[in-house]
């Protein structure tokens, strides 16, 4: 696992993708920091995490789209799949490399709470809780788009499908909310990431919602390893 | 070391490999021979566990490649048709990655990798980015990758493709040396390579094994005749008459006028008789000197052509029934 992790993580920063991801994420967050905090004279960060959830829908697929398709194109999947390692180890290596790139980008934004604390009193506990929660949410994003990238050989298809499915996962509660089908509205609301993230916005650290994101991650990593394993049988 | 039992692989309705069985003992170098699309690569991919078989099984050192994949793969070094290289890494980084990926514990990285690089001749390019290397060097890096961890089984899919003639000889010698302690399967459609390197040939055509023997035995089996090519001075019809009069000559064929007064001929003889001396005297008596005389033997090309064509004719017959 560590071999794959090291290689992928290094590849993010020998190529442009790692830098682009960090820069895009940081500038988007900086802009909303300016709007919500600097010009509005506020020390509340919940909107920023809200905006992170949205931006990650676009940025995470860009980061994960090459993880499997590139292996297929360079025929290096033959090396990985004939090496004496389990498929899950390879999947985990790739997953953690993407997660670490995200953490690099996220750590850049630590500067804003620090700036605010110089001039005001931000709610430290709520901010830490939100940072932890956004990490779990992002890991669910990464697992979902990693799964989608394993389904297709084309990077573009993978990126677009990932963006669509992440959007669905984020806001599927909306689909039936205005109808009378209460059962479906409730079920989808239960599964939607945005309703799951709601507690964190409000400054509550809810363990059950953290478990929700962890379960999503585990399920999609498992599915990814199944898809890769299934290729042997086609 | 390698045991393959009733291997079948079906892609949709097409059977790429049909019920192949063979076993390879430790230390053998076996050549996989066959035209394009015969099922060589498919068989190798199944043995290495990259793809699964539709039916049958493959055992490496006693481990089933599907039931005990990790143990089986620990014994295998695989060089696929396209070497699996990350173009953005340097050779050294790449080899370190493979070393870590294969979880090699029993050999120290520096010493192990230096030895391998020395062996395949890439020591001087270790710091270079793989994407910038020539095809021959990429092929060697691919070979180096397969040797990491000292696997006892090497599976090489067309290992000399893209190399220049000197490199080909070099790599063949490397493979031969490796074969002293290891079991090697190498696929190729370059026939001299099989003669040069392999102790045993398995010929595959249309997903079926059509021959499995030593290269020289194969040639003997197919060839009932010896062949010579000769350049003889004299009028062609007269030469043909004289030569065909020599006892033991089965046939003579005029090919072309080569030099002034001299022509090229192909002479065939019965396997059992040596016609060289009588032929010499007969021509000398008639004042028709040799300018050259070479024994053809039977080339592996002939064997190969015969085996694969026979088989396709055979299958056509089957179809028409």
| Each residue's pLDDT tens digit, B156-166 | 998 888 788 88
Write out the H or E segment, with its range, that includes residue A234.
Answer: none
Residue B310 maps to a domain: no
Residue B270 maps to a domain: yes
Query: Are B239 and B159 in the same domain?
Result: no
The pairing of strands B63-64 and B183-188 is unpaired
pLDDT at A222: 97
Residue B101: which of A3, A74, A77 has the nearest Cβ?
A: A3
Whether chain B has a CB inside 8 Å of the CB on A16: the answer is no
Last residue of a domain, one of B221, B239, B270: B221
Structure tokens at A212: 């929700």
Query: Are B130 and B86 in the same domain?
Result: yes
Residues B262-277 pLDDT 10s: 888 888 887 677 788 8
Provide mean pLDDT across the span A54-60.
93
pLDDT exceeds 60 at position B311: no
Provide mean pLDDT across the span A209-214.
92
Write out the H or E segment, with its range, that includes residue B212.
Answer: strand B208-213
pLDDT exceeds 80 at position B222: no
The Cα–Cα gap between A228 and A125 comes to 41
pLDDT at A96: 97
What residues make up the domain containing B160? 2-221
pLDDT at B27: 87
Residue B214 maps to a domain: yes
Buried b (16+ CB within 10 A) or exposed e, B39-76: bbbbbbbbbbbbbbbeebbbbbbebebeebbeebbbbb
Query: Are B116 and B249 in the same domain?
Result: no
Provide mean pLDDT across the span A156-185.
84
pLDDT at B79: 94
* Of A78, A70, A89, A69, the residue nearest B50 (C-alpha): A78
Query: Are B65 and B173 in the same domain?
Result: yes
Residue length of chain B: 321
Residue B82: which of A75, A83, A86 has the nearest Cβ?
A: A75
Contact (Cβ atoms closer than 8 angstroms) between residue B76 and residue B48: yes
Provide mean pLDDT across the span B48-54.
90
Provide mean pLDDT across the span B148-152.
92
Query: Are B211 and B240 in the same domain?
Result: no
Q: Which residues pair with B201 in a beta bridge?
A: B31, B213
Confidence of residue B299 (pLDDT cuts 50, 70, 90): low
Query: Are B50 and B155 in the same domain?
Result: yes
Contact (Cβ atoms closer than 8 angstroms) between residue B232 and residue B289: yes
Query: Are B109 and B170 in the same domain?
Result: yes
Provide mean pLDDT across the span A37-52.
85
Provide mean pLDDT across the span A155-169.
93
Q: What is the full DSSP assignment across B63-94?
A: EETTTSHHHHHHTEEEE-SS----TTSBHHHH
Q: Does the distance separating the beta carbons of A6 and B50 come in below 8 Å?
A: no
Query: Are B76 and B126 in the same domain?
Result: yes
- Which distant-in-sequence residues (6+ apart) come within 8 Å of B211 by Cβ? B201, B202, B203, B218, B303, B307
pLDDT at B205: 85
pLDDT exceeds 70 at position B220: no
Q: Does the distance separating the beta carbons of A86 and B73 come in below 8 Å?
A: no
Residues B75-122 pLDDT 10s: 999 999 899 999 999 999 999 999 999 998 888 899 999 999 998 889
pLDDT exceeds 50 at position B194: yes
Contact (Cβ atoms closer than 8 angstroms) between residue B76 and residue B151: yes
pLDDT at A69: 85
Residue B57 φ then ψ, to 5°: -145, 165
Confidence of residue B321 (pLDDT cuts 50, 70, 90): very low
Q: Does the distance separating the beta carbons of A232 and B49 come in below 8 Å?
A: yes
Residue B306 maps to a domain: no
Domain count, chain B: 2
- Least confident piece of the model among A26-40, B127-141, B226-240: B226-240
Residue B320 maps to a domain: no
Residue A76: which of B78, B86, B102 has the nearest Cβ?
A: B86
Whether chain B has a CB inside 8 Å of the CB on A233: the answer is yes
Residue B27 maps to a domain: yes
Interface of B with A (CB under 8 A): 45, 48-52, 69-71, 73-74, 76, 78, 80, 82-89, 93, 97-98, 100-103, 145
Which chain A residue is nearest to residue B48, measuring alpha carbons? A82
The Cα–Cα gap between B116 and B146 comes to 10
pLDDT at A87: 93
pLDDT at B237: 86
Last residue of a domain, one of B200, B221, B242: B221
Residue B256 maps to a domain: yes
The pairing of strands B55-60 and B249-259 is unpaired
CATH classification of the domain holding B281: 3.30.70.1340
Residues of chain A with Cβ-Cβ distance to B101 below 8 Å are: 3-4, 79-80, 83, 85
Last residue of a domain, one of B221, B244, B271: B221
pLDDT at B210: 84
pLDDT at A104: 95
Residues of chain B with Cβ-Cβ distance to A74 below 8 Å are: 84-87
pLDDT exceeds 90 at position A74: no
pLDDT at A105: 95
Provide mean pLDDT across the span A153-171.
91
Query: Are B110 and B250 in the same domain?
Result: no
Provide mean pLDDT across the span A102-113.
94
Confidence of residue A145 (pLDDT cuts 50, 70, 90): very high
Contact (Cβ atoms closer than 8 angstroms) between residue B98 and residue B150: no
Provide mean pLDDT across the span B226-249.
85
Q: Does the distance separating the beta carbons of B102 and A79 come in below 8 Å?
A: no
Query: Are B282 and B152 in the same domain?
Result: no
- Least confident piece of the model among A6-10, B10-14, B44-48, B63-67: B10-14
Structure tokens at B113: 């990798």
The Cα–Cα gap between A158 and A65 comes to 6
Which chain A residue is nearest to residue B84, measuring alpha carbons? A76
pLDDT at B227: 77
Minimal C-alpha gap between B176 and chain A (Å): 24
pLDDT at B48: 92
Query: Are B168 and B228 in the same domain?
Result: no
Q: Which residues pair with B263 in a beta bridge?
A: B232, B257
pLDDT exceeds 60 at position A111: yes
Residue that the structure tokens 């980061």 belong to: A63
Residue B81 maps to a domain: yes
Residues B16-44 pLDDT 10s: 898 999 999 988 999 988 888 888 999 99
Residue B123 is given by DSSP the state G
Domain ranges across chain A: 2-231
Residues B119-136 pLDDT 10s: 888 999 999 999 999 888
Q: How far apart are the first and last CA of chain B?
A: 40
Provide mean pLDDT across the span A129-149.
94
Query: Are B33 and B177 in the same domain?
Result: yes
pLDDT at A11: 92
Minimal C-alpha gap between B36 and chain A (Å): 19
Confidence of residue A107 (pLDDT cuts 50, 70, 90): very high
Minimal C-alpha gap between A230 and chain B (Å): 9
Residue B50: which of A2, A74, A81 has the nearest Cβ?
A: A81
Specify the 3-state DSSP secondary structure of B19: strand
Which of A84, A86, A234 should we substitute to test contact with B (largest number of B Cβ atoms within 10 Å)?
A: A84
């Amino acid at each position: 696992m560590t071999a794959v992790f090291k290689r992928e993580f290094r590849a993010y920063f020998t190529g442009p993708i790692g830098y682009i991801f960090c820069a895009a994420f940081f500038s988007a967050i900086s802009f909303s920091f300016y709007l919500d905090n600097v010009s509005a004279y506020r020390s509340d960060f919940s909107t920023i995490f809200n905006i992170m959830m949205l931006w990650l829908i676009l940025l995470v697929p860009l980061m994960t789209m090459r993880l499997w398709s590139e292996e297929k194109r360079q025929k290096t999947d033959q090396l990985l799949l004939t090496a004496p390692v389990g498929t899950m180890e390879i999947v985990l290596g790739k997953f953690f490399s993407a997660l670490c790139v995200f953490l690099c980008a996220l750590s850049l934004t630590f500067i804003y709470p620090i700036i605010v604390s110089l001039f005001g009193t931000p709610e430290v506990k709520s901010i830490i809780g939100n940072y932890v929660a956004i990490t779990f949410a992002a890991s669910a994003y990464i697992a979902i788009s990693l799964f989608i990238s394993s389904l297709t050989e084309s990077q573009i298809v993978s990126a677009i499908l990932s963006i669509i499915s992440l959007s669905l996962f984020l806001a599927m509660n909306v689909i039936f909310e205005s109808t009378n089908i209460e059962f479906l509205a409730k079920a989808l609301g239960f599964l939607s990431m945005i309703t799951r993230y709601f507690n964190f916005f409000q400054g509550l650290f809810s363990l059950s919602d953290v478990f929700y994101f962890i379960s999503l991650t585990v399920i999609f990593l498992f599915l990814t390893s199944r898809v890769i394993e299934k290729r042997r049988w086609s | 070391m390698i045991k393959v039992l009733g291997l079948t692989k079906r892609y949709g309705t097409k059977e790429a490999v049909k019920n192949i069985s063979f076993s390879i003992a430790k230390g053998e170098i076996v050549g996989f021979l066959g035209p394009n699309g015969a099922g060589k690569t498919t068989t190798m991919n199944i043995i290495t566990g990259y793809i699964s078989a539709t039916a049958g099984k493959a055992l490496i050192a006693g481990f089933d490649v599907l039931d005990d994949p990790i143990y089986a793969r620990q014994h295998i070094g695989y060089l696929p048709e396209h070497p699996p290289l990350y173009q953005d890494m340097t050779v050294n980084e790449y080899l370190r990655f493979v070393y870590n990926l294969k979880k090699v514990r029993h050999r120290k990285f520096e010493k192990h990798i230096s030895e391998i690089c020395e062996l395949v001749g890439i020591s001087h390019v270790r710091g270079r980015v793989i994407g910038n290397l020539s095809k021959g060097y990429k092929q060697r890096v691919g070979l180096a990758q397969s040797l990491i961890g000292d696997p006892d089984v090497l599976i090489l899919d067309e290992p000399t493709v893209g190399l220049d003639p000197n490199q080909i000889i070099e790599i063949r010698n490397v493979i031969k040396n490796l074969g002293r302690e290891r079991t090697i399967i190498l696929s190729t459609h370059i026939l001299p390579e099989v003669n040069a390197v392999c102790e045993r040939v398995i010929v595959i055509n249309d997903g079926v094994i059509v021959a499995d023997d030593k290269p020289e035995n194969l040639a003997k089996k197919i060839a009932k005749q010896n062949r010579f090519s000769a350049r003889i001075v004299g009028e062609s019809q007269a030469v043909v008459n004289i030569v065909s009069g020599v006892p033991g000559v089965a046939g003579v064929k005029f090919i072309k006028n080569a030099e002034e007064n001299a022509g090229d001929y192909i002479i065939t003889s019965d396997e059992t008789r040596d016609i060289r001396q009588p032929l010499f005297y007969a021509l000398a008596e008639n004042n028709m000197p040799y300018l050259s005389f070479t024994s053809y033997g039977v080339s592996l090309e002939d064997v190969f052509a015969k085996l694969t064509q026979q088989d396709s004719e055979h299958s056509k017959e089957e179809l028409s029934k």
